[in-house]
Amino acid sequence: ETGVTQTPRHLVMGMTNKKSLKCEQHLGHNAMYWYKQSAKKPLELMFVYSLEERVENNSVPSRFSPECPNSSHLFLHLHTLQPEDSALYLCASSQAIYNSPLHFGNGTRLTVT
């Protein structure tokens, strides 16, 4: 039990599909994050939520749409993706958004065909 659970583990979708990634944390944390991990590149922070409010949106294309209905759940809605969006998407949580260590999930391996 990692404390941060991501589903699905793998996802293959066409460019016209709509899908959602789900993240759930059981740690009582107040902050949640989406990161994109591509080969040979540093992790890229996509979105940050603190107490269910979005506090960062790092110039992510609108085809990625986050949703945080409560402090335990985070979604990433996907639509009309491009092949270059294929990557490992990692969810993380922390007690606070300032200096608290991140706890990561196992990620969703996304392939866009």
Partner 1 sequence: AQTVTQSQPEMSVQEAETVTLSCTYDTSESNYYLFWYKQPPSRQMILVIRQEAYKQQNATENRFSVNFQKAAKSFSLKISDSQLGDTAMYFCAFFVGETSGSRLTFGEGTQLTVNP
Minimum distance, C-beta of residue 16 to partner 1, in the bound complex (Å): 27
User: Can you say whether the dihedral through the CA atoms of 51, 3, 7, 99 is positive or negative?
Assistant: positive
Minimum distance, C-beta of residue 82 to partner 1, in the bound complex (Å): 23
Residue 10 near partner 1 by CB under 8 A: no
Residue 12 near partner 1 by CB under 8 A: no
- Which of 49, 81, 93, 107 is close enough to bind partner 1 by CB under 8 A? 107
Residue 104 near partner 1 by CB under 8 A: yes
x-or-dash pattern for partner 1, window 37-66, by CB under 8 A?
A: ---xxxx-x--x-x----xx----------
**Range 18-22, long-range pairs (CB < 8 A, 24+ positions):** 18/77, 18/78, 18/79, 19/77, 19/78, 20/75, 20/76, 20/77, 20/78, 21/75, 21/76, 21/78, 21/89, 21/91, 21/108, 21/110, 22/73, 22/74, 22/75
* Residues at the contact surface with partner 1, assessed by CB under 8 A: 2, 40-43, 45, 48, 50, 55-56, 88, 90, 92, 97-99, 101-107, 109
